[in-house]
Structure 1
Amino acid sequence: MDKIYIRDLAVNTIIGTLPEERKKKQKLIFNIEISCDLSRAGKSDDLKDSIDYKKIYDNILELAEMSCFFLLEKLAMETAKICLADKKAVSVKVTIDKPGALSSARCPGVEIER
């Protein structure tokens, strides 16, 4: 299966359950991997035969910057829905890291596959 991906997308958003997390935006790092068949786009050289990663990128930015979710799990699920809205997408893997959330670890995060 072919893949389209967006790596290391940094977004600042309100996320978390602690009172201090609800007051200040935090940096999150998204990695998105969309499984799809790219053979038609490879032959036609036409974006309509592929998944427009710029559109996915813009929609994820809008979701993350405007959201006030408590859990990374919810944000990951909504991100997956954006990716799967394109009928050419077969499946998606969404990873969201929350750097700085744990003092002795690089970052906690979530990964979902739909």
Structure 2
Amino acid sequence: MPNVECGKPEHRTLNPSMDRIYIRDLGLRCIIGVFPEERREKQDVVINIVLECDLRPAARSDHLNDAVDYKAVKKRILALVEASEFNLIETLAERISEVCLENPGVARATVTVDKPGALRFARSVAVEITRERQA
């Protein structure tokens, strides 16, 4: 089994013909967990995102209108995470992928959600999902 650092998407699963935008180590806080002690106050989550898209139009024009506005994507994710409550990190990852794919320039999104301190003796527990735009 390959040695993969927790929270960093494994690049073998990405489409080699697509360009990528990385949003790394986005630290946010939300109510997350199924146990009462987890739901008393917001907890830290660390989010890593890979957006697969065609960056050539933006590179040619050098205009934001032709680019995937990753600042806008981040703002939507921030609003979602901080205003919501989740039982599972799987659900949080799914909702984030949906936000990413709302942008018409994004063909595929890989989302990793780390929950630091979720397990004793472990730095974090993480889930990683990849979702594609449906035709």
Per the normalisation by structure 2, the TM-score is 0.83
Residue type of the alignment partner of 1:35: E
**1:24-82 deviation line (CA, Å, top 9, x unaligned):** 11000000100000001000001111110000110111111011111111111110011
Q: Deviations over 1:69-104 (max 9, x none)?
A: 111111111100110001110100000000111121
Where 1:64 maps in the other structure, the secondary structure is helix
In the alignment, which residue of structure 1 is the partner of 2:7?
none
Structure 1 residues not aligned, in runs of 5+ = none
Cα separation, 2, equivalents of 1:77 and 1:109? 13
Amino acid at match of 1:96: V
2:37 is equivalent to residue 20 of structure 1: yes
- For 1:5 and 1:58, the matched residues in 2 are separated by 15
Separation of aligned partners in 2, 1:59 and 1:28: 16
* Equivalent position SS for 1:77: helix
Structure 2 Cα separation of the partners of residues 64 and 21 of structure 1: 16
Equivalent residues, number? 114
Identity of aligned residues (%): 49
| Secondary structure of the structure 2 residue equivalent to 1:61 | helix
Q: Are residue 45 (structure 1) and residue 69 (structure 2) matched? A: no
Q: Give the counterpart letter for 1:17 in structure 2.
A: V
* Corresponding residue number in structure 2 for 1:105: 122
- Following superposition, which runs of at least 4 residues in structure 1 exceed 4 angstroms of deviation? none
> C-alpha separation between the residues in 1 aligned to 2:65 and 2:91?
30
Counterpart in the other structure of 2:28: 11
Unaligned runs of at least 5 residues, structure 2: 1-17
